[in-house]
Amino acid sequence: MSSAESTEQTGPAVQEPGRSPRPAAFIPPPAPGLVESARRLAGATATSTALVADALARIEATQSTLNAFRHLRTEAALAEAAEADRRLAAGERLPLLGVPVAVKDDTDVAGLPTHFGCDGALPPAASDSEAVRRLRAAGAVVVGKTNSCELGQWPFTEGPAFGATRNPWNTAHTPGGSSGGSAAAVAAGLVPAALGSDGAGSVRIPAAWTHLVGIKPQRGRISVHPYSDAFQGLTVNGPLARTVADAALLLDAVAGAHPEDFHRPPAVRAVDAARRDPGRLRIALAWRPPLTLTGAGPDPEVRRAVTALAETLARLGHHVEEARPRYGLIGLAFVPRATVGIAEFAARHPEPALLDPRTRSALRNGTRLGGRVVRAARAREVRQHRRIGALFDASGFDVLLTPTTAAPPPGIGAFDGLSAWRTDLTMAAACPYAWPWNVLGWPGVNVPAGFTRSGLPVGAQLLGPSRSEERLIALAAQLEDDLRWYEHRPPA
Question: Which residue numbers are catalytic?
Answer: 104, 178, 202
CB 283 within 8 A of CB 401: yes
Please tell me the distance from the alpha carbon of residue 407 to that of residue 51, in angstroms, as a whole number.
36
Select from 201, 433, 411 the least CA-distant residue to 296: 433
Residue 181: in which H helix or E strand, if any? helix 180-187
SS3 (DSSP) at 312:
helix
Which amino acid, one-letter code, is at 81? A
* DSSP calls for 33-89: -HHHHHHHHHTTSS-HHHHHHHHHHHHHHHTTTT--EEEE-HHHHHHHHHHHHHHHH
- Cis peptide upstream of residue 228 (ω within 30 degrees of 0): no
383 Cβ contact partners less than 8 Å away, ≥ 6 residues apart: none
In the sheet that holds 399-403, the strands lie side by side as: 69-72, 141-146, 100-104, 193-198, 236-241, 213-216, 444-451, 457-463, 399-403, 282-285, 319-322
CA atoms of 298 and 402, how far apart (whole Å)? 10
Among 106, 215, 120, 203, CA closest to 151: 106
Instruction: Give the other-Cβ count within 10 Å of 311's Cβ.
Output: 11
Give me the count of residues in the chain: 492
- φ, ψ at 363 (rounded to 5°): -60, -45
Distance separating the N- and C-terminal Cα atoms of the chain:
16
